[in-house]
Amino acid sequence: MIHPVDRAAATVVGKGPSRLRFFADGWGDPDLLVPPDVSIGPSPPITPSWVSRETDDSGRVVRFGNYDVGDRALPFRSQIGAVQSVEPAREVHRTVLLMAAWNEHDPRIRVAIAERLADQGIRSIIPENPFYGSRHPDPESHQQIRTVSDFMQMGLAAVTEAKGLLTGMRESGHELGVSGYSMGGNVAAIISATLNFPIATAPLAASHSPGPVFLDGALEAGIAWDALGGIDQHERLRAVLNSVSVLRVPPQEHLSRAVIVAGRGDGYIPMSATRALVDHWPGSELRVHRGGHATLVWYRKAALTSAIVASFDRMSRAS
């Protein structure tokens, strides 16, 4: 049963102002709608330049940095990456990349999880998503994802940059991992599935692809169908979004040790889409908690943190 908070949010999405609709400018660049390469392979390493360092009230070290994305096809403001690090004051041997959720311009939820992880000896790297925050193409616009091709471009860039960051950190000798909530969980799953080296993996409230999220959950009410040519374009949109699916990538051995989290009443991520991910990664662990999409991340940060820690522990026991 869908959690009442998620049901209410779906009503708001469906009846909200038109300026907030997804894909309000239509399909966009047809070249970017072509299925991207989701096969296993390397990415050029990315090493951020850390420009500031501070210590919070609990003694955790917080750093801020940036890096040149190198992708000139992105909007101008999205071409410089921004990243934050949250770590314990003591030396650590585990580092996790935490990916952004949908429409996450402020990473406060990831920071809250990162603080819990730091208290358990894990460093977190929090990259700002292309098109979000300081990388928003047009700060005057309320909805940064104006076309389907914007979404595809954003997702591909997020995966490519994350793989580059993880590749760059590999020389540190740390145990590496990736996680994220909602869209961040889906992106984390794609990152781990397509890396050419093993990492701990914890997709939180994640689907195997964006297709079921936009078309079988609460977000469907926010799609500007008129701009796409009408509701009869439903299956075309599903085909485009499902072209980026973990199910298209043969499972690597390290994915058998992934820890996947779902909310029993999640109105945004269909349980069938999460179970498809679990089934595709034989041996992976599924943890189902009470709550919906919103309440799971609001009130069960300890459970989400525990899943990330467990993904590292499962990797360590297998090595």
pLDDT at residue number 260: 98
Taking the model in full, what pTM does it have?
0.94
pLDDT-derived band at 19, boundaries 50, 70, 90 = low
Query: What rounded mean pLDDT belongs to the chain?
Result: 92
Domain with residue 197: its CATH number is 3.40.50.1820
Instruction: Say which residue, 50 or 8, is predicted with more confidence.
Output: 50
Model pLDDT for residues 224-233, shown as the tens digit of each residue: 999 999 999 9
Model pLDDT for residues 139-183, shown as the tens digit of each residue: 777 667 889 999 999 999 999 999 999 999 998 888 999 999 999
285 and 260 in contact (C-beta within 8 Å)? yes
CA atoms of 33 and 147, how far apart (whole Å): 10
Of 301, 270, 265, the residue nearest 4 (C-alpha)? 265
Model pLDDT for residues 71-130, shown as the tens digit of each residue: 878 888 889 999 999 999 888 899 999 999 988 889 999 999 999 999 999 999 999 999
53 CB neighbour count, 10 Å cutoff: 11
| pLDDT tops 90 at residue 211 | yes
Under the phi-then-psi rule, with left for phi > 0, alpha for psi from -120 to 50, and beta for the rest, what region is 223? Answer: beta
Count: domains in the chain: 1
| pLDDT tops 80 at residue 1 | no
Model pLDDT for residues 232-291, shown as the tens digit of each residue: 999 999 999 999 999 999 999 999 999 999 999 999 999 999 999 999 999 999 999 999
pLDDT at residue number 34: 87
Q: Which domain holds residue 206?
A: 4-318
CA atoms of 49 and 160, how far apart (whole Å): 18
238 CB neighbour count, 10 Å cutoff: 17
